Amino acid sequence: MSGLELFAAALGVISVWLTVKQNPWCWPVGLVMVLIYVWVFFEVKLYSDMLLQLVYAGLQLYSWWQWTCVSEAKQGRKVTNLGWLGVMVSLACSTLFSLLLGAAMANWTDAAQPWLDAALTGFSLVAQIWMAQKHVECWPLWITVDVIFFWLFLYNGLYLTSTLYALFTFIAVHGWREWRAGSVLEA
């Protein structure tokens, strides 16, 4: 564990908690976190996760814009349901992306866990996009991904980051409850 990993983990907790509370400051805090994690994951050869953090940097900016600027009344985006078809199409695209990335990582890098890391990357991207668009379905996907990330990081000796993802899991459960109960879900 490094001081850098500790700082990134602390920012991660703050960012996800702010997300649950639908506070748009979650995105700039998250931007700093993901930029730090690029280096952390590079050091342990989780290259798909490193690339994921770079993509997250762009998605943090997109999400901040979605939450603060996209609305007819300029009140920010409302929590909505994605719908069964949207969920299935997104997950199918994520599966295809995960297989392609896994094959690339397995064949062209010395990645520590190329297939699992790629799958988690693919499904995390979908969860992040759903979160940016405030689809309540982001939370159960985050719960699933976070549980698996917990074990991946534990296996790779990133004990603090593993603990962070255990905490993310509990926060995601809370977020799912809060977004479903506290918001009027639109179809």
Report d(CA 121, CA 56) in Å as an integer.
Answer: 10
Give the pLDDT confidence score for residue 187 in this predicted structure.
Answer: 44
Asked if the model's pLDDT at residue 74 lies above 70, the reply is no
Total structural domains in the chain? 1
Is 100 inside a domain boundary?
yes
Confidence of residue 71 (pLDDT cuts 50, 70, 90): low
Average pLDDT over residues 4-10: 92
Residues recorded for the chain: 187
**Nearest alpha carbon to residue 175 among 8, 9, 15:** 15
Confidence of residue 48 (pLDDT cuts 50, 70, 90): confident
Range of the domain at 47: 3-182
Q: DSSP assignment, residue 135? A: B
Q: What is the mean pLDDT of residues 60-78?
A: 75
Are 134 and 78 a contacting pair, CB within 8 Å? yes
Asked if 49 contacts 41 with a C-beta cutoff of 8 angstroms, the reply is yes
Task: Provide the mean pLDDT of the chain.
Answer: 90
For residues 171-175, average pLDDT? 94
Mean pLDDT to the nearest integer, 41-65: 90
Residue 144: which pLDDT band, with cuts at 50, 70 and 90? very high
Whether 152 shows a pLDDT value over 70: the answer reads yes
Confidence category of residue 46, pLDDT binned at 50, 70, 90: confident
Residue 187 located in a structural domain: no
Burial environment of residue 139 by CB neighbours within 10 A (0 to 12, 13 to 18, 19 or more): buried
Give a yes or no: residue 43 inside a domain.
yes
Residue where the block lists tokens 């931007």 = 31
| In a domain? residue 35 | yes
- In the chain, % of residues over pLDDT 70: 93
Asked if 162 and 126 count as a contact pair (C-beta separation under 8 A), the reply is no
How confident is the model at residue 75, as a pLDDT? 57
Instruction: Kindly give, in sequence order, each residue whose CB lies less than 8 Å from that of residue 107, ignoring residues fewer than 6 positions away.
Output: none
